[in-house]
């Protein structure tokens, strides 16, 4: 087997492998799209009507955490440079 034949065979196998992967991805996209349409048709994507409270008593919100981290980093950089 010559180098040219081996390169031809490796190119063919590469294209075959890429084609199989591409085909699998197309099938997966179709299945996900169909599943989404079925779930939407059955009403599974609708909220249950309950409202979720955004602030739970006794917890700290994200803005306070961000402010505390920023203050700590500023202080660290000011004292350790």
The tens digit of pLDDT for each residue in 22-76 reads 999 999 999 999 999 999 898 887 765 555 555 566 665 788 888 999 999 999 9
pTM of the model: 0.51
Read out DSSP for the chain? --HHHHHHHHHHHHHHHHHHHHHHHHHHHHHHHHHHHHHHHHTTTS--SPPPPS--TT---HHHHHHHHHHHHHHHHHH--
């Amino acid at each position: 087997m010559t180098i040219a034949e081996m390169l031809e065979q490796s190119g063919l196998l590469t294209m075959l492998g890429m084609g199989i992967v591409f085909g699998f991805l197309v099938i997966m996209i179709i299945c996900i799209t169909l599943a989404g349409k079925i779930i939407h048709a059955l009403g599974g994507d609708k909220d249950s009507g309950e409202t979720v409270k955004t602030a739970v008593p006794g917890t700290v919100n994200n803005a306070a955490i961000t402010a505390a981290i920023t203050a700590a980093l500023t202080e660290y950089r000011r004292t350790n440079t």
